[in-house]
A and B are shown apart, each in its own frame.
Chain A
């Protein structure tokens, strides 16, 4: 067969598809896919509505003309599709940025929607409908490419349900089956769900490519003119604002994302997702650092830490972030860490990043880089803002840190830090003998023979170990009074606190030992969502930790809080809390409705199972119940006639009726003689009345009629 013959054969129209269900499901999946693209902003409302309407109208017309498709339709539709491709090529050529796949996605979504809605006008055969069904997958993939949260899930679920329905309908159509195959549909859905979970679990998580231009978009409206403007006007209603012990804490923010960090204030952080992050690896995403400690609050020095002051970068995205003099980027490792931040709530104007940031992709005219490496956006960071940071990973290994020392023996400054920097990062408001003594006591036992000056890493590790064994974690601690030394109160008081107290105490103790340290605040990754491949950072993931300076490696992050056990972690309380949380979030209304329905169904089934299967059983049971009430129970080896005879002894007036009733029942049960419908009614009526204590004589006419054994009783009377 020649190639042309194969093409002709492949395009030969198949028999008309008559299944309305199949066509309906196919139409629905296309409409849902277009809706998904619309919800993700990849299709504008006019185009989405137009293509949805065209899809519905086209499928309706295709169904009506399935036996005799319009011959002129094919060339017209082909021209429309070709026109769509031409439009796509022109649009992409003019507007797309090379390497930036996001600039292609919207035209691609429009093209797919256009092609599918056009194709809807010519789907006479089963194969054509199946193409529509399969083509919707491309639209869903385009919608999925831009989704960063689980809101797409409802579209995916609806698309899958309709798709499976369509596939099953297609199979029914080709195999001649009819009826709704609920079991097949359910089993297929179960298999698909199970396999999907397995595939998602087995497939490696997608990583951010390093060969593309990274996404960034701005949702901010207010320009930021100064790096100190971390919030829009410092409103208390915004998530980030300066804290005060008596002030209101805005849920969704963090007290530290301001020019000062008051460790005496107490915050209650919520579960709201503040940002979603797609990152090469989880890391501490630092927002800002503090160097000046006044006993209760951390402050950022007004004077530049690196002697150069705050720089305003106006090169436009991407902004190349210069290294400060105390940063040692790229010495520890040689890997690049790429993070894309999708802000879900309005946040501080900080550009969070993993150390050390090299490039920032942000839709802004300028950014500020302060002397300590803090990056401040040039525009307010509203909800919906997207920016990407490429960082040079400078996380040193424990072995690398073990050979580095930063102590200042005999007051001689380390050559890598300027005296001003060293003074800044060793700064303490006043000598505190108790804290110094405790720090020395903790680190005194770790000196190795011949090594009078233990390594910095060992000291940090010793302090972390001490924290883990002497401190308990709890966010439920009372606020401090103004000007109360929080480190002193924490270390020699309750020894209960959270990240701010633990990291601050660690930093202060390190400074008393002559180790340059500073407080860092930002976010930890939070929970990883395998569906979206994003870290969902909640407000409660705001964190404070310690950064220690190492020659050759720069600032290294340590998290002493990670080693601190929870306060009063009794298993019972944890179980109760967890159980309570689970119970609280259960959908009680649907569960209650389902329970009522199931209980009702079981009760109906139980009653039906107890219901006598025939009128004879019912009448016999009525007689036995009446006898039991009179104290005459039927023996297991007693015939109904004999039993009715005993009953008749107590009810002589009903003797004849009882005997005749028993005879009719036994003739039916053992002789296969079915009485007439009237006689069945009379027997049942007598048995019911006898059970109720109101004897009801059997109709004489029916009683005397020998034709009662007629087999022509209506079927409905032959049992239930």
Chain B
């Protein structure tokens, strides 16, 4: 409810009563007008203080969800307020119970895009004590732990196959890390940086890498490249989600390469939760 109509209506009402009082000389009319003005002032201004003083904290949240799916956040609110999630959107929750002091409420939010949420924005609104006017403020509520929002499961489809004959670090074909550790050997071009065995390197003075047994599986390597356009990136992430989830369902091991805020990440994807988190963290190419 906007503030303009009730405030203007209140002013007009009080002015009308005041003018009647001053034309008739009736003190009681003025007294009733003052009373109405006091009620209106309290009803219109008190929610402002109530909303301003409201505190909202999130005490419990899940770590994973999927875009478009509602997830419940446990929040503690102080004051008789209504909480409405803004980012991500959600449904209203009233925190005006019968109990005094802080109240615990369940706020359902529905993220519509993938991503990692560390905060949510809620609108804390109050019309206490008379319900004449809602005053609201946006509150940024930190989550106890990041909420990974996986992309929706897109339409099933095949991934584009890529043949890469380059060597060394330029090799796009991702080597498997799934074998059992076998020993240490000298570095050879094409070895991953992360396979460098630093204690042995330090001991021998030569760059040494850890070597694994021959892989027992033959993972599918998925290189995820998201386009700069957010919508296109979302659709691409959904497609990847669908493809990789299909691999995982069939028991095919998957190695996925994604660009994350900390840099490119190449890691085995064990399940759909891990898949969702990876895609939630994935960013587009600059």
Contacts and interface: CB of A to CB of B under 8 A. Distances in A.
Interface residues of B, number: 40
A152 B28 contact: yes
Contacts of B29: 141, 144-145, 206
A196 B30 contact: no
B28 A183 contact: no
B188 interface: no
A176 to B, nearest CB: 4
Contacts of A195: 37-38, 41-42
Contact-residue bracket for chain A: 35 or more
Which of B33, B39, B100 is the most central at the interface, judged by chain A CB atoms within 10 Å of its CB?
Answer: B39
A567 interface: no
Interface string A210-249: 0110000000000000000000000000000000000000
A623 to B, nearest CB: 40
Contacts of B17: 141
Chain A interface SS verdict (over half): helix
Contacts, number: 150
A193 B35 CA distance: 8
Contacts of A171: 96, 127-131
Interface string B80-117: 10100000000000101110100000000000000000
B34 interface: yes
Given A141-B33, A177-B80, A188-B129, A167 B39 contact: yes
Given A191-B42, A206-B22, A179 B28 contact: no
Nearest to A22: B131
Interface stretch (A74-82, A498-506, A514-522, A531-539): A531-539
Given A177-B80, A531-B27, A533-B30, A168 B35 contact: no
A613 interface: no
Contacts of B37: 195-196, 199
Interface in B40-55: 41-43, 46
Contacts of A163: 39
A141 B96 CA distance: 34
Contact of A200 (B13, B22, B34, B100): B34
A301 interface: no
B26 A172 contact: no
A255 interface: no
Given A177-B98, A178-B98, A532-B28, A156 B130 contact: no
Which of B13, B25, B131 is the most central at the interface, judged by chain A CB atoms within 10 Å of its CB?
Answer: B25
B56 interface: no
Interface in A530-572: 530-534
Interface string B1-44: 00000000000010001101111111111111111111101110
A472 interface: no
B35 A206 contact: no
B182 to A, nearest CB: 56
A530 B98 CA distance: 40
A191 B28 CA distance: 20
Nearest to B36: A137
B27 A533 contact: yes
A170 B133 CA distance: 12
Contact of A141 (B32, B42, B80, B98): B32
B32 A144 contact: yes
A249 B18 CA distance: 44
A177 B96 contact: yes
B38 A101 contact: no
A207 B97 CA distance: 48
Contacts of B27: 205-206, 529-534
Interface string A168-197: 101111111111010111011001111110
A410 interface: no
B132 interface: yes
Sorted from nearest, which 5 A-B pairs have the closest CB atoms? Answer: A533-B27, A171-B131, A144-B28, A179-B98, A195-B38
Interface of B: 13, 17-18, 20-39, 41-43, 46, 80, 82, 94, 96-98, 100, 127-132
Given A137-B36, A164-B39, 15 more contacts: A147-B28, A156-B31, A174-B127, A181-B129, A188-B42, A195-B37, A196-B37, A199-B34, A200-B34, A205-B27, A206-B24, A207-B22, A209-B25, A211-B23, A278-B25
7 contacts: A141-B32, A141-B33, A164-B130, A175-B96, A191-B38, A531-B27, A531-B28
